[in-house]
Amino acid sequence: MLLVEKVSRLQEQLGVVAESGCRQPLGTKVQSIAEQLGLWEDLKGKPLVEQTDACYNTVFGGAVATKIEQVVVTGRVVTVEPAKLDGRYFSFKTGGNPDEVVDRFEARQQGDHVTYYRNGPVGSKTVVDSATARPMESYKINGVHLHGPVGATVKANGDIEYTHGYTSRREGVVVAGEAITPAQPAQKLGSTPSHGNPRSTNALNTELNNVARNTNDTARVRMLVGAGADLSSTNGAQWRHTPLHQACYHGRYEMAKALLELGANTTLHSNPCGRGRSGTPLELARGGGHHHIVKLLEEAQSGGPAPILRADDPEAAAPHQDKFHGDRLWDHRLHPNGGPRADQVLPCITVCCAVPFTVCPLHCLSAWGCDCVVDVLTSRWVRPGCTDVCCCPCSPNSMNPLWCCAQPLGWAASFGQLHTVMSLVANGAKPHTRNLAGENAFSDAKRERHVHVVEWLEAWERAGKPTAPGNQHMRREPAQSVGGLDAHDVQGCYVGACIIPILVTSFYVQASGADELRASGFTLIVPWSYSLRRSAESPTKFELRAHDQNQDWFWHESGCCFWGSPGWWAIKVVPTSC
């Protein structure tokens, strides 16, 4: 009999003693019941860490605090505690194969009651989406026993065993006392939301990639790798992102640190997504402004120790959610803008939507990510009392009658323009308002795989939908670049031409970070969009390296820029940085 099964039987009997209102010393009862169960030989001579005069004068999890005993056997400490049931579960036949899932739910505990939430009926096998799940059956917690539609017992390993012959197990939990095997995590695979992340080579590697991308659960990553997940596996040929690429791109410091400790490769190339040339983890972290992850990778490559994060550092990511607390929620330094995916070519989309954008210029500015201009147009002092007027051209909730009554926030979310989303929400935009196509800001961002926008909107709601701080300087303060011109300083709209003015161009420059730009526009009627990165040679030089272009762009403090051959020039006509 496994240790966990022995302790489970002992725990059940102690629960019965508790319910009977026993006043006998606990140490005596432990020995008596263990002898009855034939377990005393295993426990005899091992220390019982508890007060001998303690007694279960109330049930596990009751209103009165109970003593907890720890039994040390073969070097392992097993703690018998009151039931804690919050989390996601999957169900299977008791004694059957856990891979044959018959139901999934999320348990939410409040006091001595627990309620199961699902996105469908009982028997739904889909992973629960916490934001949209609905409450269903409820149970009263009485020690380790649940009383509701059917009876149930919470086992020592955390499983919930029901009287009708089924067992529920928490997603992503290894049963105590059992060795981790390559087959075991398959029981919990799929419990981590993908948020649009493509599949990897198998279910185990897919789970590892999703955990590294969308969570900070370093313990689960270690478990998956121990079970055989491949640290070099990717999310498909289009992206080629390993778990380390994902952690670096999304700014998950503790996750990146754990992956490096497990031996993740720091030199593999991937789709750079506008951050650098070859898409190494270092380039993805640097392009997102995750400077502490950059230091972590540089130390790992040089063989040095991991950098220590100061508690007052803006990027101190332990816990990662600190960047969503208080005024930090609005700090642009902690929340990179992101911007459109490489396959979202804004100039082409602007041509297709020329008429709707002409009717509602604010929508066009939102799609392009002109956050400062959008902020000025939608701030309350410009249009007092017009926040909810859908026909007001400067309202953050204005609707475009020529495009399914879309709103500025939907356009910004669809193209990953987080800073514009922040400006619109700060000025009264409503993320849950749906257009005629049934989409809102949440669904737009999820559909287009802009996870950072979804994370920010969800964090804003969890924080109670706070208003932006009165001091806008804090949330707009850009991360300082090393020397000279900051990429945010050149953000704006430009008009230019060749030295021999045969060709004319107009474009918009947006800062992706302190050292990275994206320029998108038209030359005559031909649309184009490229990423540029600051050169190590000069703080005013940015390099454009693409399969069809290889140019150096230079900026002058006057606002002019020069690039290419035979010699282009352009001047900023509409500044959009604040």
3-state SS, one letter per residue, for 169-232: EECCCCCCCCCCCCCHHHHCCCCCCCCCCCCCCCHHHHHHHHHHHHCCCHHHHHHHHHCCCCCC
Note whether residue 188 is domain-resident. no
> What residues contact residue 396 under an 8 Å CB cut-off, 6+ apart?
378, 387, 407, 408, 409, 424, 427, 428, 429
State CA 372 to chain mean position distance: 26
> What residues contact residue 438 under an 8 Å CB cut-off, 6+ apart?
none
Q: Percentage of the chain surpassing pLDDT 90?
A: 16
Residues 521 and 463 both lie in one domain? no
The structure tokens listed for 59 are 């049930």
Residue 14, burial from CB neighbour count under 10 angstroms (0-12, 13-18, 19+): buried
Where residue 35 falls (left for φ over 0; alpha for ψ -120 to 50; beta otherwise) is alpha
**Torsion angles phi and psi, residue 462, rounded to 5:** -60, -30
82 prior amide bond cis, ω within 30: no
Contact indicator for 472, 492 with CB cutoff of 8 Å: no
Residues 226 and 260 both lie in one domain? yes
The structure tokens listed for 203 are 């279910």
Residue 414: pLDDT above 90? yes
Residues 162 and 267 both lie in one domain? no
Residue 16: pLDDT above 70? no
**Torsion angles phi and psi, residue 160, rounded to 5:** -110, 115
Residue 411: pLDDT above 90? yes
Domain harbouring 452, CATH code: 1.25.40.20
18 — pLDDT class (breaks 50, 70, 90): very low
Please state the domain count of the chain. Answer: 5
Give the span between the Cα atoms of 455 and 478, in whole angstroms: 21
Contact indicator for 295, 307 with CB cutoff of 8 Å: yes
Q: What is the pLDDT of residue 321?
A: 45
Residues 28 and 117 both lie in one domain? no
The structure tokens listed for 456 are 């920010």
Q: What is the pLDDT of residue 516?
A: 77
Note whether residue 175 is domain-resident. no
Average pLDDT for 195-217:
88
pLDDT tens-digit profile of 224-279? 887 778 899 999 888 899 999 999 988 889 999 999 988 899 999 998 877 777 88
Give the span between the Cα atoms of 109 and 141, in whole angstroms: 9
Residues 66 and 96 both lie in one domain? no
Note whether residue 262 is domain-resident. yes
The mean-pLDDT minimum among 131-135, 246-250, 380-384, 524-528 falls in: 380-384
Q: If you count them, how many residues does the chain have? A: 578
Q: What is the pLDDT of residue 382?
A: 54
Contact indicator for 334, 321 with CB cutoff of 8 Å: no
Give the span between the Cα atoms of 442 and 188, in whole angstroms: 27
Note whether residue 325 is domain-resident. no
Q: What is the pLDDT of residue 73?
A: 31
130 — pLDDT class (breaks 50, 70, 90): confident
Task: Please compute, for residue 181, the number of CA atoms within 13 A of its CA located in the half-sphere on the CB side.
Answer: 7
**Parallel, antiparallel or unpaired: strands 526-534 and 76-79:** unpaired
Burial 330-364 (b: 16+ CB within 10 A, else e): bbbbbbbbbbbeeebebbebbeebeebbeebebbb
575 versus 218: the higher-pLDDT residue is 218
Residue 488: strand, helix, or coil: helix
Residues 427 and 507 both lie in one domain? no
Note whether residue 230 is domain-resident. yes
Residue 2: pLDDT above 60? no
Average pLDDT for 134-160:
86
Q: What is the pLDDT of residue 343?
A: 77
Note whether residue 112 is domain-resident. yes
Residue 532: pLDDT above 60? yes
The mean-pLDDT minimum among 39-48, 106-115, 568-577 falls in: 39-48
The structure tokens listed for 512 are 């992706």
Note whether residue 94 is domain-resident. yes
The structure tokens listed for 83 are 């039931």
Range of the domain at 423: 346-476
Residues 114 and 17 both lie in one domain? no
43 — pLDDT class (breaks 50, 70, 90): low
Residues 229 and 306 both lie in one domain? yes
Q: What is the pLDDT of residue 365?
A: 87
Residues 277 and 303 both lie in one domain? yes
Residue 471: pLDDT above 80? no
Residue 201: pLDDT above 60? yes
Contact indicator for 280, 300 with CB cutoff of 8 Å: no
295 versus 482: the higher-pLDDT residue is 295
Average pLDDT for 276-296:
86
Note whether residue 180 is domain-resident. no
The residue out of 79, 109, 143 marking a domain boundary is 79
Average pLDDT for 393-407:
88
The residue out of 48, 79, 110 marking a domain boundary is 79
Residues 351 and 444 both lie in one domain? yes
214 — pLDDT class (breaks 50, 70, 90): confident
The structure tokens listed for 400 are 């475009």
Residue that has been written with the tokens 């929400």 in this structure: 425
> What residues contact residue 465 under an 8 Å CB cut-off, 6+ apart?
none
Residue 505: pLDDT above 80? yes
Residue 522: pLDDT above 70? yes
Q: What is the pLDDT of residue 69?
A: 34
Q: Which among 504, 502, 485 is positioned nearest to 542, based on CA atoms?
A: 485
pLDDT tens-digit profile of 362-390? 898 899 888 878 887 887 555 556 667 67
The residue out of 79, 109, 129 marking a domain boundary is 79
475 — pLDDT class (breaks 50, 70, 90): very low
Q: Percentage of the chain surpassing pLDDT 70?
A: 70
Give the span between the Cα atoms of 303 and 287, in whole angstroms: 23
Using alpha carbons only, what angle is made at residue 93 by residues 6 and 14, rounded to the nearest 5 degrees?
A: 30
C-alpha dihedral, 340 to 343 to 348 to 352, nearest 10°: -90
Residue 469: pLDDT above 80? no
Give the span between the Cα atoms of 325 and 307, in whole angstroms: 24
Residues 63 and 116 both lie in one domain? no
pLDDT tens-digit profile of 61-98? 322 223 333 333 333 333 334 467 888 888 989 888 88
Q: DSSP H helical segments within 303-360, as ranges?
A: 346-352, 354-359
The structure tokens listed for 409 are 């926030």
Residues 467 and 493 both lie in one domain? no
